[in-house]
Structure 1
Amino acid sequence: MKKSTADHMVDTLVANGVDTLFGIPGAHSYEFSDALARRSDDIRFIHTRHEQGAGYMAYGYAKSSGKPGVFTVVPGPGVLNAGAAICTAYGGNAPVMCLTGNIMSHLIGQGRGQLHELPDQLATLRGLTKWADRIDHPAEAPDKMTRAFTEMTSDRQRPVAVEVPWDVFGQQAPAEPASLAPKHKTPLDPDSIEAAAKMIAAAKNPMIMVGGGALDAAAEVLALAEKIQAPVASHRSGKGILADDNPHAMNLIAAYDYFKDCDLLIGIGSRLELQFMRWQWRPAGLKVIRIDIDPTEMVRLKPELGVVGDAAKAADALTAALSGQKVTSRTAEFSEIKARARTESEAVQPQMSYLDAIRRALPRDGFFVEEVSQMGFTARFGFPVYEPRQYVTCAYQDNLGFGYNTALGVKVANPDKAVVSVNGDGGFMFGVQELATAVQHGIGVVAVVFNNNAYGNVRRDQMNVFDGRLLGADLVNPDFVALAKSFGMSATKAETPEALEKAIETALASGGPALIEVPVPRGSETSPWQFLHPAPHA
């Protein structure tokens, strides 16, 4: 049976479990939009108000669920608008798929100035993704779409892209039926596990550092930590792999305190950003073991021992290899360190008081989506998380405009869970148009906008480092409450932590999209950077 390229593509999406697609229709891909419309019982289409929003929503969907997040945009400017979201998915190791069109196949590369033409769009996409390709004929569609799923979900997960020329979407050809894409996982080397076990057995003060590569290894990491009585630290992407109220979990303040006596660092699915990029001090004689599915990580930061493989399998194998080891419980020691860290963090105000209020209002299984802001930075050490994927971060991109758009995708993937988006006024304005998307599609995210009428970090740095010469740091904002109400959304203002807690509880109980504005005097926040970039140990 002949089918169009677009129909073959949709068949492959459905066969691989895709139930939601974000995007904006456009002329180059009308046949693809129509194929989606004819399969609306299988795939929900959520149209956004900006291509960047579509990409971020796909990212939020993927990071919070572990399932592929898929979006579609027009070529050229649409792809470029979504570029920030694609590079966030790359940095955050998220299985995100971008589906786009291109100009007519016979005109690609001629530079004639066709609608939405880029000089070499495929090269641009390949520079942003793990893998990208073009479907040049409908007979190729099932194989190339299946390849896209395989590349996206195998080993280190990262975004992929598929483009289709304008005239090819509607062309028809017979092809093999769509199928579930195979996944590849690099096998463990038993010799490296044995060597790692010997290093761990000889260590007196080991530390485990987890990142996004360990999101699906929570039980195995906990078992290893308990076996060797090691603390488990995280920065952003690894938050919640161990619940923050577990005796072995340490935030970055507590971890730095412990680190001064650490003799073995075990990185599991982590770039070790804290230890090698933020902490400008390391104890003498420190040895490093890295466990990572990506072998190139062992070259980027060379450890004493590299273990290439799946985080869960490697942690489980290490625990088994250490089965005869006896270690005395250190939870009381860890608790003291954690208590000191909590006391120290109290100095960061008003952020900590507001974050405590959000934590009280947010159910234990709720999702917290950060944004690059004074609250977002502080949350990296000051907001407790209890399960993997519940803290959704932009990873190392730290891009303004990430927060609210991403939170909408998180809520779509987790409709029965509470989702709170924490934003600064500057970042929120990057994606404010998606308030319309939330209302139209009934996406019940609670957006908290901390309004200090500034790009707060820029302003502090200009005041402290450049003798107060301000440039582009102060902002004039709309009335956020009135703005949200104009979209048809409930909104209110909260001027204290207690008021914020009650406002979030009320908004979550309503079930619909809501906005809460929190005024913060300009320049009043305590800098969190003393903990994000701490001074060297004496």
Structure 2
Amino acid sequence: MTTMTGGEAIIKSLRANGVDTVFALPGGQLDFLFDAMYKEGDDLRLIHTRHEQATAYMAYGYAKSTGKVGTCAVVPGPGLLNAAGALCTAWSNYAPVLCISGQIPSTAIGKGYGDLHEIEDQIGMISHVTKWSQSIDHPAYAPTHIGEAFKQLGTGYPRPVEVEMPMDIMAMEAEVDILPAVSEYPSLPVDQSLVNESAEILKQAKKPMIVVGSGALEASAEVMALAELLQAPVMACRSGKGIVSSDHYLSANFPMGHRLWGETDAVVAVGTRLNWPLTMWGKDDDLKLIRVDIDAKQINRICEPEVGILGDSAKVLNALHQQLITDGFSAASREVELSELKAQIDGEMREKVGPQMAYLDVIRKELPDDGIFVDEVTQVGFVSWYGFPVYKPRQHISAGYQGTLGYGYATALGVMAGNMDKKVIQVSGDGGFMFTCQELATAVQYQLPLVTIIFNDHRFTNVQRQQKEWFDGRVICSDLHNPDFVKMAESFGAAGFSASDPESLRQAIRSAFEQKGPSIIEVDVQEFFPAPWPFLMMPQNRKQVCK
């Protein structure tokens, strides 16, 4: 045992569990935590942001793109609430984010004295967007509680966790025994009877398909093996993109999946909520549904499947694949059929959302195959969900169903920090970028070579389109006054470039990739992009809709 402060006990415990990067913003209740990080020297990379929301967004981007725990630290009360939007995004997207929060002095908690940043029942407040949370009330407890945080992050479904420590406990010196890293995580056994039942359904199916979400990110090989055996197309929308490479004939984007959904007779849904297919496209008795998920709440959500298997997706899919092999199952190739459908869908997309596709084609061509694309709640971002090819898991980062406007830039900086050996491109609209534009300072200070493309049409486009279509053209609060984004970037010390069409964007990306630090590319958009919704809000194509 060694004498150390509470702050040091936290940081030493993080280091013992493999944390090498922390995204944080200093403040009075974190003084001793930051001093502990200072003492770690080069062994711990500290990236401090200009707003608390960015600490958790960066941790989210780091976690989603690497699969490792993303760690952030904020002051209590308003600091933690500022970070809560990003924690909400991480919660919705099953991201392993560890948030460390300060707290007012332990003697004042719950007293209502009006201490700086005091908030009633902070643990209870943050519990709605965390899987687990805990107050550390003595330095000696830090190793145990940090260890439990990592156990929670690595067991079952990953979601954010939070630990907090009162400021006087962070300053307290005590004997502390730093524990070894958590290395054992409980796992669920595979229910072979349910595997057998699933295999029987799939052996009878004429046109099976697979749908994947973030719960299959670590099961790419197993998904591919099962898909090839079944000759089943694999559909992904956002988080599941790249689990099967987009250039494989068995990879199906969202509109192609919709076309296939109408005629499939068996679906294996792996680690996905399956919300839009079930609630918009429908399910009837002619479609047998097999759900595989580590989150028990998802198995019967929306509708009851024919078979629901609770367990690790890789293990379940491997068992299912082996059972089909044992049963002597084989299927004829569907390469010609699916390749033709893929080409047909691609043509339809280019006809209806051609302007966005033209820009995405340039981005895909210039971004290396192992590069990472981060979207935003913007017109090009929406089309990227179905129109941007992805070749490996974790190469397309999204806000998921939260649709957190403004999440993109700060998230992409976390992606960049976790993948300094790769190229990263992030797209924003002019509205969303301004939510975290101050983090240009962070990007320059830490020389994060992120390339951000801002499509500037001087409006909140979705809002204005709906105002014009739904309210007889009554436009309110959707026109935007913007800075010159190129000059803005240069004023921070970043590189700034302009583009006005796909070809000039190509040249700007090439110039941006030559920079050592961050770059902003402003694309001047004069007209509305076509609505992306025809390939997302697609109509019912089964007899019944689940509600």
Q: Shorter-normalised TM-score: what interval?
A: over 0.9
Offset at 1:299? 3.1
Match of 2:386 among 381, 387, 395: 381
Alignment of 1:275-294 (within 5 A): 275-277=277-279, 279-282=280-283, 285-294=286-295
Q: Does 1:529 align with 2:533?
A: yes
Paired letter, 1:338: K
Q: After the TM superposition, which residues 320-359 of structure 1 pair with which residues of structure 2 at under 5 Å, given as runs?
A: 320-323=322-325, 324-346=328-350, 347-359=352-364
Query: 5 Å matches for 1:243-262?
Result: 243-262=245-264
Find the counterpart in structure 2 of residue 111 from structure 1: 112
Matched, 1:234 2:250: no
| Residues 379, 28 of structure 1: alpha-carbon distance in 2 compared, 3 angstrom cutoff | same
- Could you tell me whether the CA contact under 8 Å between 2:267 and 2:287 is conserved in 1? yes
Alpha-carbon displacement from aligned partner over 1:41-94 (angstroms, at most 9, x marks no partner): 221000100101111000000000000000001111110111111001100100
**Residue 266 of structure 2 is aligned to residue 264 of structure 1:** yes
TM-score norm. by structure 2 comes to 0.96
Q: CA contact under 8 A between 1:235 and 1:274: conserved in structure 2?
A: no
For each residue in 1:306-335, what CA deviation from the matched residue of structure 2 results, as whole angstroms up to 9, or x when unmatched?
A: 111111111111110100102100111110
1:7-57 CA-partner distances (Å, limit 9, x unpaired): 111111111111100011111111111001100222100010010111100
1:439 is aligned with what amino acid? V
Equivalent of 2:442, from 433, 437, 440? 437
Structure 1 distance, partners of 2:515, 2:48, is 24
| Alpha-carbon distance in 1 for matches of 2:61, 2:201 | 38
Deviation at 1:284, TM superposition (A): 5.2
CA contact (8 A) 1:52 1:83 kept: yes
**Residue 516 (structure 1) aligned with residue 517 (structure 2):** no
Out of 397, 403, 407, the residue aligned to residue 402 of structure 1 is: 407
**Matched residues, number:** 536
3-state SS in 2 of match to 1:449: strand
State the one-letter code of the partner of 2:42.
D
Amino acid in the other structure paired with 1:308: L
Worse-matched range after superposition: 180-189 or 71-80? 180-189
Q: Distance in 1 between matches of 2:467 and 2:355?
A: 21
Partner SS state of residue 290, structure 1: strand
Q: Deviations over 1:438-497 (max 9, x none)?
A: 000000000000001111111111111121111211111111011011001111110010
For 1:155, the equivalent position in structure 2 comes to: 156
Letter in 2 for 1:426: G
Quote the offset at 1:534 in angstroms: 1.2
Structure 2 CA distance, aligned partners of 1:375 and 1:232? 23
Q: Is the 8 A contact 2:447 2:516 kept in 1?
A: no
Equivalence for 1:456 = 461
* CA distance in structure 2 between the partners assigned to 1:4 and 1:359 by the alignment: 49
1:353-388 deviation per Cα after TM superposition (whole angstroms, max 9, x unaligned):
111111111111100000000011010011000000
Specify which of 318, 321, 324 is matched with residue 319 of structure 1.
Answer: 321
Offset of 1:283 from its aligned partner? 5.5
Letter matched to residue 167 of structure 1: D
Aligned match of 2:64 = 63
Note the C-alpha offset of 1:175: 3.2
> In structure 2, which of residues 197, 200, 204 is the aligned counterpart of residue 198 of structure 1?
200
Residue in structure 1 matched with residue 545 of structure 2 by the alignment = none
Q: Secondary structure at the match of 2:221?
A: helix
- Greater shift, 228-237 or 498-507, is seen at 498-507
Aligned to 1:22, what secondary structure does the other structure show?
A: strand
Q: 1:382, 1:116 → 2: CA distance?
A: 45
Q: What SS does the aligned partner of 2:269 have?
A: strand
TM-fit CA distance, 1:265:
1.2
Code of the aligned partner of 2:343: A
Counterpart of 1:52 in structure 2: which amino acid? Q
Change (3 A) 1:348 1:152: same
Q: Which amino acid aligns with 2:400?
A: A
Q: How far off is 1:106 after superposition?
A: 1.2
Separation in structure 1 between the aligned mates of residue 469 and residue 282 of structure 2, nearest angstrom: 24
Separation in structure 1 between the aligned mates of residue 223 and residue 425 of structure 2, nearest angstrom? 27
2:433 aligned with 1:423: no
**In 2, Cα distance between the equivalents of 1:511 and 1:318?**
47
Residue 484 (structure 2) pairs with residue 483 (structure 1): no
For 2:231, the aligned partner's letter is Q
CA distance in structure 2 between the partners assigned to 1:478 and 1:342 by the alignment = 36
Choose 297-306 or 348-357, whichever is displaced more: 297-306
**Offset from partner CA, 1:230-289 (integer Å, 9 cap, x none):** 000001010111110011001011111111111111100111123124x33446511110
Show the counterpart of 2:506. 501
How far the C-alpha of 1:119 sits from its partner, in A, is 1.3
CA contact (8 A) 1:215 1:388 kept: yes
CA shift at 1:431, angstroms? 0.5
Equivalent in the alignment of 1:222: 224
Q: Is the 8 A contact 1:8 1:178 kept in 2?
A: no
Deviation at 1:537, TM superposition (A): 3.9
Give, in whole Å, the separation in 2 of the partners of 1:293 and 1:317.
15
Once the two structures are overlaid, the 10-residue window that deviates more, 437-446 or 6-15, is 6-15
What secondary structure sits across from 1:236 in the alignment?
Answer: coil
Please report how far the alpha carbon of residue 422 of structure 1 lies from its aligned counterpart in structure 2 after TM superposition.
0.4
Partner residue of 1:53?
A: 54
Q: How does 1:355-366 map to 2 (within 5 A)?
A: 355-366=360-371
**8 A contact 2:496–2:520 mirrored in 1:** yes
CA gap of 1:201–1:511, structure 2 versus 1, over 3 A, is: farther
SS across alignment from 1:97: strand
The answer to whether the 8 Å contact 1:435/1:484 transfers is yes
Structure 1 position 187, deviation (Å): 2.1
Alignment deviations for residues 172-223 of structure 1 (CA, whole Å, 9 cap, x no partner): 2223322112322222111111111111111111110000010011111000
Q: Is contact 1:71-1:97 (8 Å) kept?
A: yes
The residue identity in structure 2 corresponding to 1:129 is T
1:63 is paired with a residue whose SS is helix
User: Secondary structure at the residue paired with 1:350?
Assistant: helix
Shift of 1:138: 1.3
Cα distance in 2 for residues equivalent to 1:15 and 1:63: 22
Give the SS at the match of 2:190: coil
Secondary structure of 1:300's counterpart equals coil
Question: 1:140 is aligned with what amino acid?
Answer: Y
1:2 and 2:25 correspond: no
Report the alpha carbon displacement of residue 511 of structure 1 after superposing the two structures with TM: 3.5
**Which has the higher mean CA deviation after the structures are superposed, 282-291 or 142-151?**
282-291
Map 1:180-199 → 2, pairs under 5 A:
180-181=181-182, 182-199=184-201
Structure 2 residue runs without a partner (length 5+) = 543-547
Structure 2 letter corresponding to 1:88: T
Q: What is the Cα-based RMSD across aligned positions, in Å?
A: 1.2
Conserved 8 A contact 1:3-1:174: yes
Task: Give runs of aligned pairs for residues 135-154 of structure 1, distance below 5 A.
Answer: 135-154=136-155
Contact preservation (8 Å) 2:71, 2:98 = yes
> What CA distance in whole angstroms lies between the structure 1 residues aligned with 2:58 and 2:492?
19
Letter in 2 for 1:241: I
For residues 205 and 46 of structure 1, the distance between their equivalents in structure 2, rounded to whole angstroms, comes to 50
Q: TM-score, normalised by structure 1?
A: 0.98
Q: In 2, are the aligned partners of 1:260 and 1:283 still within 8 Å (CA)?
A: no
- Whether the 8 Å contact between 2:210 and 2:227 is mirrored in structure 1 is yes
Tell me which amino acid in the other structure corresponds to 1:377. Answer: F
The unaligned stretches of length 5 or more in structure 1 are none
Query: How many angstroms apart in 2 are the aligned matches of 1:283 and 1:436?
Result: 53
